[in-house]
A and B are shown apart, each in its own frame.
Chain A
Amino acid sequence: MTETGRFGRIAAKGRLEVAGVSKSFHGSAHASTVLDSLSLYADAGEFVSIVGPSGCGKSTLFHMIGGLLRPDAGRILLDGRDITGTRGHISYMPQANTLLPWRTVLDNVVLGLEVAGGTDRRTARKLAAEWLRRVGLGDYANAYPHVLSGGMQQRAAFIRALISPQPVMCLDEPFGALDALTREDMQRWLLRIWEENRRTVLFVTHSIEEALYLADRVYVLGDRPTRVVEEIRVPFPRPRPDGLYGKAAFISLRTRIYELMRKDR
C-alpha cells in the first residue's frame, strides 16, 4: 500500500491517525457540528496535505491533534497509542509569525527542543546553529526576528519545528501570509529539506497547487460539518521536478480537486 520503499530513509516512528473524530460547539442559539466522524492518517515519513475551503474546521482539527481540544467522539492515535486530549506529541508551525521577539533567531529555533525537554542546552544550540547555517540564516543567528523578512522568519519557524523531537510535524498554512514568489521559493525549499529528512508532515493549505506539489497524499475536505470528500494519492515522482505546475497530469489533477471542492459548496 505505501510506497515507502522507494524513498529510502524513513522515520521509523510517527504514524498519526485521526479516527472517527466528531466535535460540536454549543452556541447560545444552537449547537453546530464542526467535525462529523472525520478519519484520516499520515504514515510514518509521509507528507500529507489537507485542502479545503477556509473556515472548514481545519483549526479545530489541529487543536484536537495538538491536544488543546477534546473530541466528542473518536480518538487521535500516534503509532497506535491513544494521545487524545494530551499535549506535546507534535511539533507545530502556524501561518502567523510566532517567533518570540525577545529571543534571538537561534534562541527561537531552540524553543521547540527546550519546551519538549530531554535535550541539553549545548546540544540543542549546536543543532540549531548548524541548521541555520544550512538554510542560509547563519548570519542572523544572533539577530532578533524583526530584522528578518517574512520568508526568512518562516524558514526559522520551520527549522524550529523540524528539529523538535516530536516525530509528527503539523504545518498550518505556513506560507499563507507570503507573497506568491516567496511562497514558491519556500515550497521548493521545504521540499528539498523534507526530502532529506522525511518526517511525518500534516500540511494544511488553501492552495490546491501547493498541496499537489508537496504531498504524497492529499485529503480534500468538505464544509460543515468537515469530512473527507476525497483522498488522492499524488502520482508524481520525488524529487518533484521544477516544471511540474505546467505538466498536463498536474493540471488535470488540480482541475479534478477544484471541481470536487466546487461541487461540495
Chain B
Amino acid sequence: MAGNNGWKLRVGSWKGWPPAAAVVLLLAVWQGAVEWFRVPKWLLPGPADVFRDMLGNWPRLWMHTKATLMICLPGFAASVIGAVGLALLMHRFGVLKRALAPLIVMSQNVPTIILAPLLAAWFGYGLFPKLVVVFLVCFFPIAVSMLDGLKDTDPAMKNYMLMIGASRRQLLFKLELPHALPFLFSGLKISATYSVLGAVIAEWVGSTKREGLMLFLNTTLSAFDLDRAMTAIVMIVAVSLAFYGLIGLIERLVIRWKPAGEEKA
C-alpha cells in the first residue's frame, strides 16, 4: 500500500508540472514585456512590483483579506449545512423534491451582482446580507451534487440492503450517505471557489466597516495605485485556490476507497 501511495505521489507531482511551468512562463513574459517596453508602473506593474508591494504592505493586505474571509467562511459553512440538510429532506420526501427543484435552479440564475444590492436594500450594510449572498452562491452546487449522490446509489446494492431487511435509516447511513460523499465533495470544491468571489461581490455593495478586499481594491483603484490593486487580485485568487485545495485535502482524508466506476482498473 505504501509503495502504491509513493507511486501516486510521484505521478501527482509530475502532473503538477505543466500548469506550474505555464504560470512561471506567463509571469516571465509579463515581467519581460513590462521592462522591454518600459511600461510605466501606474499603468501596468510587473509581477516583481506586485510582489514587492505585497511584502511591504502585508499587514494591511492581510487585515482586509481576513475581513473578506469572515464573510466567506461562515457563509460557506451555513450553506453546507443548509444545502445538505435540504438535500436530505428532498431525498426523503419526493413531493418536496419536485416542489423545490425548480426554485433551487432559479436561485442559481439570479446574478449575484444584482442580488447583492437588493439584499443590502432589504437588510442594510451589515454582515448579514453579505452572508446571505455567499450562502446563496454556494447553495446550488452543494445541494445538487448531494441530491445526485443520494439518488445515484447502485440499484443492486440497494436491493441487497432491502432484501436483508435494512430500515430506511440503515439504508441512509450505511448505503446512501457514504455513496453520496464523493459527489458532495465535488460540489463543495466548486462552492469553495464561488464563496470567495461571492464575498467580494457582497463587499462591493458597501459596508459599515471600512475593511475587506473589495474596499481595498476600490480605494487603490481610485488612487490609480495599480500594483497595490493587483495585490488584492492575487490575494483573491490565492484564497480561492487555498480553499479549494483545503477541501480537496479533506476529501482525500475522508474518502479512502475507490469511488464507483473506477473498479477493476
Contacts and interface: CB of A to CB of B under 8 A. Distances in A.
Contact of B163 (A90, A100, A102, A114): A90
A102 B160 contact: no
A14 interface: no
Nearest to A62: B163
Contact of A98 (B156, B255, B262, B264): B156
Nearest to B162: A68
Contacts of B156: 94, 96-98
B157 A100 contact: yes
A144 interface: yes
Interface string B252-265: 00011111101110
A101 B260 contact: yes
A146 B163 contact: no
Given A90-B163, A116-B165, A164-B164, A100 B174 contact: yes
A115 B161 contact: yes
Contacts of B166: 115
A144 B258 contact: yes
A115 B164 CA distance: 8
A85 B25 CA distance: 68
Given A87-B165, A96-B156, A115 B259 contact: no
B127 interface: no
A98 B157 contact: yes
B219 interface: no
A170 interface: yes
A24 B161 CA distance: 24
Contacts of A116: 164-165
B160 A92 contact: yes
A91 to B, nearest CB: 6
Contacts of A225: none
A87 B157 contact: no
Given A98-B157, A100-B178, A115 B162 contact: no
A167 interface: no
Contacts of B174: 100, 111, 114-115
Interface string B175-204: 100110100000000000000000000000
B109 to A, nearest CB: 35
B107 interface: no
* Max count, chain B CB within 10 A of own CB: residue among A67, A88, A94, A102: A102
Nearest to B260: A101
A67 B165 contact: yes
A57 interface: no
A14 to B, nearest CB: 16
Given A101-B263, A144-B258, A146-B263, A66 B163 contact: yes
A62 B181 CA distance: 31
A170 B257 contact: no
A97 B175 CA distance: 14
A71 interface: no
B173 to A, nearest CB: 11
Given A62-B163, A67-B165, A98-B157, 10 more contacts: A87-B165, A88-B165, A89-B165, A90-B163, A97-B156, A98-B154, A98-B160, A101-B263, A115-B164, A144-B257
Interface of A: 62-63, 66-68, 87-92, 94, 96-98, 100-103, 111-112, 114-116, 144, 146, 164, 166, 170
15 contacts: A63-B163, A87-B164, A89-B165, A94-B156, A100-B157, A101-B257, A101-B258, A102-B181, A111-B164, A115-B165, A115-B174, A144-B257, A146-B263, A164-B164, A166-B164
